[in-house]
Amino acid sequence: MKNLGFKKIIEFSLLALFVFGFRVLIQEFMPLFEQNLNLTFGRFLIKLLSNYPLTLVMLLFDIYAAYALNKYIKEEWSFIKISLIVISAIIIALLSALWIRVPIWTGVYSASFFNDIYFNLTLFSSFVFNLIIISLLHVYSYYSRLHERALNLEIGKKNRARHQYQQLKNQLNPHFLFNSLNVLDYLIFIDQKRASDFVRKLSSIYRYLLSKEDLPIVTIREEIDFVNLYVDLLKERFSNGLIVNISIPDEFLEFNIIPGGLQMLVENAIKHNVISQECPLVINVFIDNEKIVIKNNLQPKITTIESGGIGIKNIRGQYMFLFRKDIQIKVDSFHYEVRLPLIENV
């Protein structure tokens, strides 16, 4: 923290020195326009900018300089960036002055060329113009990025809220709870041990959802353990009609995923497809090309539940907000596939 404060003091002192120097430079140069050209600085600058090809080239260089500085220098108002803005303006001004003065100067190769008052006034005017343009472009870019970050933050909060709401709906899904209680009622009469295991798994599912709902990410290992519990409950209902194959190598288990991401995709497959022992629904979870893939055979219900794809949209929104990565969806006549990017430890 002390080093950071000292750095800021140095940067502020250097910036103050630069502003003072720039002011002295203006005071020295401004009277020269009327003394040597009988023109004010403003009139000379207008006359200079009336050379439209030169003005166009300067603006193009200014735009490129502002773009390059904003792309490669991440600190918004550091002394390095401000220094580079000034240096860029000087270089563009020098090229502009050479453009104007070289064609009418007979002693181009003489050192006295750079002592020519007209050359120096042209250089100064171009420098002021380019410094203002590059600075304005940087200010515009700065506030545009601020606005974009604020907008992305709001979108992220909205997606996060939607995702949490969807998770809450999944937790309190009356159909899931109703079916689970029916299965439990059945198991109590035929096999009390299975009924006890069923209650334990059901409580573990709700415990996981409650403990992870405020976390932005969990490991794939944790999510797979949760999905296995979820699938075990479903198999009490669907028996051999539901087959879930999870094949994730150990080296990928510590990668990250959003909480409930895999479970929501498994639930999505179950909700929209026919499940029976004659036509089992097969869901495969595996790694391919640095993505975790959830793929199932397509056997859609004739009267499927009305869906606006909210679950997929929420998962996509979370990945875009948290990781700046998009999910991939592939559908053909036989399979439905979703690919989630693998996220390393953050």
Amino acid at 229: L
At residue 336, does pLDDT exceed 90?
A: yes
For residues 111-117, give the mean pLDDT.
62
User: What does the H/E/C string look like for 199-235?
Assistant: HHHHHHHHHHHHHHCCCCCEEHHHHHHHHHHHHHHHH
For residue 108, what pLDDT is reported?
47
| Least confident stretch, 85-94, 140-149, 171-180, 315-324 | 171-180
Tens-place pLDDT, residues 75-87: 665 667 777 888 8
Average predicted confidence (pLDDT) for the chain:
79
Torsion of CA 15, 20, 21, 27, to 10 degrees: 150
Return the higher-pLDDT residue of 259 and 292: 292
- Residue with the two structure tokens 């005071």: 27
137-163 mean pLDDT:
76
Q: Where are the domains of the chain?
A: 2-152, 172-341
pLDDT in tens, 163-212: 665 554 554 455 567 767 877 887 887 888 888 888 888 888 878 877 87
172-341 architecture in CATH?
A: 2-Layer Sandwich (3.30)
| Tens digit of each residue's pLDDT (9 = 90 or more) over 221-274 | 999 998 998 888 888 888 889 999 999 999 999 998 888 888 889 888 988 899
Q: What is the pLDDT of residue 114?
A: 61
Environment class of residue 313 by beta-carbon count within 10 Å: exposed (0-12), middle (13-18) or buried (19+)? middle
Burial of 74-92, coded b for 16+ CB within 10 Å and e otherwise, reads eeeeebebbebbbebbeeb
Instruction: Quote the pLDDT of residue 187.
Output: 81
pLDDT score of 1 more than 50: no
What confidence tier does 115 reach under pLDDT thresholds 50, 70, 90? low
Supply the pLDDT for residue 66. 84
Q: Which two structure tokens, joined as six digits, stand for 334?
A: 């036989």
Output 259 or 336, whichever has higher pLDDT. Answer: 336
52 touches 96 (CB < 8 A):
no
| 325 token code pair | 């990565």
User: Average of pLDDT values for 20-46?
Assistant: 75
Average pLDDT score over residue span 104-120: 60
Q: Is the pTM of this model over 0.75?
A: no
The yes-or-no verdict on residue 313 having pLDDT over 90 is: no
Please give the helix or strand (H or E) that residue 245 lies within, else none: strand 242-247
pLDDT of 301 above 60: yes
Predicted pLDDT of residue 164: 60
Q: Which residues neighbour 178 within 8 Å (Cβ) at sequence distance 6 or greater?
A: none
Flag whether pLDDT at 19 surpasses 60.
yes
Look at residues 322, 326, 179 and name the one whose alpha carbon lies nearest to residue 259.
Answer: 322
Q: What is the mean pLDDT of residues 37-56?
A: 81
